Amino acid sequence: MTLLAPDADPWAPVTTATAVDCSPDDPLALVAWLTGKPVLHRGQPVLDATLRAAFAAAIAGPWRDPFTGEPATLRATIALLAGWRRLIDANRGIAVATGMAWWKREAIARFLWDGTGSPAFAPPAAAIRRVGRRPGGGTIAAWPSRVPRDFPPPGTPVAWVEDGFLRSAGLGADLRAPQSVAVDRGGPAFDAQAPNDLEAILATRDFPPDLLARAAALRESIAAARLGKYGPATGTPADLPAGRRIVLAIGQVADDLSVRRGGAGIATMADFLARVRAAEPDAWILYRPHPDVAAGHRAGHLSAARVAAHADACDTGSDLASLLDRVDAVHVLSSLTGFEALLRGRSVTVHGQPFYAGWGLTRDLAPPLPRRGRRLTLDQLVAGALILYPRYLDPVTGLPCPPEVLVRRLASGQGRSTNWRTALRRAQGRVRHRLVMLGERFRG
């Protein structure tokens, strides 16, 4: 029997072979037989009937769901394996990865595994040299915010890697590895200045009834579990006035690429908040800064005086899911919270050009993008953005998984852990935030 590593892909060696010589019950023999390659055993052809019997024994089961341990049908098992196969095939040709922070590389390596291995990690310049020396070139997997502005050189294919829309239990700024990413050969999903794979899915893909039913169930389970990008909502319910139209204005990290490339020219949170007040002159406006800003990790803090100039209150610690359920409308620049508000049936006004704007589901104040002329239903948007586009890792088994598995894990608290990196990072954030507040007090 040919021995394969436990994590090896049996299809990889077969695709380049003209014939396979191994035991009839070896996985390589069955894969070769399924692809029409000659199967030999010690140099002699193996009978088709022998291989047919081996295949029947291989699929006889019993089958179990790797995420729950419960019995599974052959159809469900094949669907899961087919999903893994699509991921492996999509990763072929990725020669090197760049821009990935050291603390997330283990997860990124799993997302980019191609059946035989994961790409090496290298700085941007070294990554370019590596693909230049590689026979046939290759694709560079790159994290957009951690490569130079002129990256990549003309003619170098890139797969842009970014956090998924259901990312993890806890902030990435607290050094928690992502449990979901998007790998986009066109451009990052947050970049409205150029086409990307997510736009192509939303603009052109057919959405059959079974996929839409799955999207509806996923949307309902996310709302029921009170999940956002960083897991279950935490905090206490906010104190909101009765008898007023309540508008939630969502702040962002001021220097984030999603603001620079998807903000339609609005560069500061003060400018955004002024525009919210102009659009809602009689509303009671609650401003909520980005959690990375509130935690002291990123830029974008607005002083109390600047917030008070256009908003009625500022909220940093209340339960976001509860807020989304109780407000009358949500205003965003390009924040993912606008998408999360749509999942919960809220009215969303968009001042920038995030991926979910322009499809007829939001009130759009920015110039329209011709690439997004198609009218979508909410479940079509969910199917594209949460099922077809991102990749997910099960935080318990480490295996690639469907979004429903990650939703169950996040809802139950599985996969949430605080290690020394996270604890240290959170302490650093608290110190930075206190220094900002002290500086504001002295200036005031």
Residue 423 has pLDDT above 70, yes or no: no
Greater confidence (300 vs 47) lies with 47
Q: What pLDDT score does 169 carry?
A: 79
Distance between CA atoms of residues 178 and 161, nearest Å: 11
**228-245 pLDDT per residue, tens:** 988 888 788 888 999 999
Q: Pick from 391, 373, 377: which is nearest to 189 by CA?
A: 391
pLDDT > 90 fraction of the chain, expressed in percent and rounded: 72
CA angle (382 as vertex; 291, 211 as ends), nearest 5: 150
Greater confidence (131 vs 25) lies with 131
Can you spell out the DSSP letters for 3-60?
A: ---TT--THHHHHT-S-EES-TTSHHHHHHHHTT--EEETTEEPPHHHHHHHHHHHTS
**52-110 pLDDT per residue, tens:** 998 888 888 889 999 999 999 999 999 999 999 999 999 999 999 999 999 999 999 99
Residue 386 has pLDDT above 90, yes or no: yes
Greater confidence (192 vs 442) lies with 192
Q: Pick from 251, 230, 422, 435: which is nearest to 352 by CA?
A: 251
Residue 185 has pLDDT above 90, yes or no: yes
**247-277 pLDDT per residue, tens:** 999 999 888 899 999 999 998 999 999 999 9
Residue 333, phi then psi, degrees to nearest 5: -90, -70
Q: Average pLDDT, whole number, for the chain? A: 89
Distance between CA atoms of residues 164 and 123, nearest Å: 23
Integer angstrom CA distances of residue 326 from 34, 166, 361, 425? 56, 22, 19, 32
CATH number of 227-373: 3.40.50
Q: Which of 137-151, 311-325, 376-390, 392-406 has the lowest mean pLDDT?
A: 311-325
What's the predicted TM-score (pTM) here?
Answer: 0.86
Q: What pLDDT score does 432 carry?
A: 54
Using the Cα atoms of residue 274, residue 276, residue 281 and residue 284 in order, give the sign of their dihedral.
negative
Q: What pLDDT score does 1 carry?
A: 39
Residue 295 has pLDDT above 70, yes or no: no
CB 374 within 8 A of CB 393: no
CB 330 within 8 A of CB 347: yes
Q: What pLDDT score does 418 carry?
A: 52
Q: How far is the first Cα of the chain from the last one, in angstroms, to the nearest whole number?
A: 77
3-state secondary structure at position 429: helix
Q: Which of 22-26, 126-130, 399-403, 425-429 has the lowest mean pLDDT?
A: 425-429
228 strand-pairing partners: 231
**235 residue type, one letter:** G
Can you spell out the DSSP letters for 75-105?
A: HHHHHHHHHHHHHHHHHTTEEEEES--GGGH
Phi-psi group of 127: left, alpha or beta (phi > 0 → left; psi -120 to 50 → alpha; rest → beta): alpha
Question: H or E stretch including 348?
Answer: strand 347-350
Residue 4 has pLDDT above 80, yes or no: no
How do strand 44-45 and strand 39-41 relate by DSSP bridges? Answer: antiparallel
Distance between CA atoms of residues 315 and 24, nearest Å: 65
Integer angstrom CA distances of residue 339 from 128, 195, 384? 35, 19, 12
> pLDDT band at 168, cuts 50/70/90?
confident
72 strand-pairing partners: 63
Distance between CA atoms of residues 417 and 414, nearest Å: 8
**221 residue type, one letter:** S
Q: Pick from 36, 31, 34, 30: which is nearest to 11 by CA?
A: 31
Kindly list the domain boundaries of the chain, sorted by start residue: 11-60, 227-373
3-state secondary structure at position 424: helix
Residue 379 has pLDDT above 70, yes or no: yes
CB 394 within 8 A of CB 263: no
Distance between CA atoms of residues 321 and 195, nearest Å: 31
182 strand-pairing partners: 162
Residue 420 has pLDDT above 50, yes or no: no
CB 429 within 8 A of CB 173: yes
Can you spell out the DSSP letters for 370-413?
A: GGG-----HHHHHIIIIIIS-EEB-TTT--B--HHHHHHHHHHT
Q: What pLDDT score does 404 carry?
A: 97
Beta strands across the sheet bearing 284-288: 313-314, 284-288, 246-250, 329-332, 347-350, 363-364
Residue 325 has pLDDT above 50, yes or no: yes
Residue 172 has pLDDT above 70, yes or no: no
Structure tokens at 310: 């256009």
Structure tokens at 223: 């709302």
Q: What pLDDT score does 433 carry?
A: 47
Q: Pick from 141, 143, 186: which is nearest to 163 by CA?
A: 143
Q: What pLDDT score does 5 carry?
A: 55
pLDDT > 70 fraction of the chain, expressed in percent and rounded: 89
**355-374 pLDDT per residue, tens:** 999 999 999 999 999 999 89
